Structure 1
Amino acid sequence: MTVRAVPSAFVRAHTQVRRPSSVPEVRLHVADDVVALWEAMEAAEGGAGEAPPFWAAAWPGGQALARYVLDTPEAVAGRAVLDLGSGSGLVALAARLAGARSVLASDVDPFSRTAVGVNAGLNGVGGISVTGDVLGRDPAGTDVVLAGDVCYDREMTERVLPFLDRARARGCQVYVGDPGRPYLPHDRLEPVAAYDIPETEGPGLRRTTVWRLP
């Protein structure tokens, strides 16, 4: 099935440029009114009932991963990086700014894939390519996998974990950013950093951890 490309103009028209609170080095197109954006997405696709616009926010797990690679550039410098569930592209951008040789930003949502390109242009960052779902693929050619906020429900976690295990078995370094969701198998992971990230929806801080798959 051919998926129609989302015009860059749509992303620009329905978002505002902001700096994520924990990653001020990066600017992103984000939505102040998610409901209005979701309605615009549905209208653009003929009322097809698109998924929520996860790409239009800087989620805590992504902010933590982005902060980690910017503060610890040796984790990605000179390496081929996969940003799994890229969303806005924040983690992909941070990886390139930290010296990654190349970044592949993967997301199933065509709106996300367009947003990644728009945000890369906004920040003057090259070397990021985009693709759709990679969970059924062989992770060959990847040195580092960065996965922010991917374990948000049981079904997604059950799809993601086997891919991360395959990547680790091939020698990839695997890092997961997560704000304490119950589906993440913490007993299988090692914490490498933790940050207090402002909540995406509402006041307060969310303790968010970057984990490594040993």
Structure 2
Amino acid sequence: LRDLRDDVGDDLVVMADLCLDEYTDHGHCGLLDGHGGVDNDATLERYAEVAVAQAAAGAAVVAPSGMMDGQVVAIRDALDEDGFDEVAILAYAAKYASALYGPFRDAVDVEIADGGDRRAYQQDPPNAREALEEIRLDVSEGADMVMVKPALAYLDILARARAEVDVPLAAYHVSGEYSMIKAAAERGWIDGDAVALEHLTAIKRAGADVILTYLAAEVAEVLAR
């Protein structure tokens, strides 16, 4: 992170994802308690430490993605106490327990121990009201931006969030959404570039100010033609 910031300087906004799943042997997004469940409060302490370390290394934005209760205020307080009050927080506010994360988890070799899942702390796909409440809470705790993830299957949440909050709204076009385009294009079933633009246009139309996508470099080339 420090080397990246040295390379790009102020030409790019360096953002750092903040989670623990890639660094644990159990694959969960937090520390575990004595019963094997995720310990929310202990995890918040670790998140705060990581946020300060990321800010010290040059991150302009930290992005907590673990969906722990109170993660935004814990991180905001820690950053402010260490003098990083200008470091922004992009909160994964409505992160659903989706099957569309599969390709990413395979790529980074993250597997949840004992056949577990993250449904205890990620959003339930049929539930819209809780997601909107989480978005409001994150804004009240000090989030500078909020995110909906995944994007396409939750455009209704994105649109409702746009009507609810005034902070910048991000959407994550995730690995499964990306992979479906690529797989279909490789088989000649669709025009990959056209569908990619259609996907991202739909996300923008629903209210996203910022789109995170694995298609970024390719779409930039298409738009530059």
- TM bucket by the smaller chain? 0.3 to 0.5
Structure with larger RCO (C-alpha < 8 A, sep 6+): 1
TM-score w.r.t. the length of structure 1 is 0.32
Question: By percentage of residues, which structure has more helix?
Answer: 2
TM-score w.r.t. the length of structure 2 is 0.31
Question: By percentage of residues, which structure has more strand?
Answer: 1
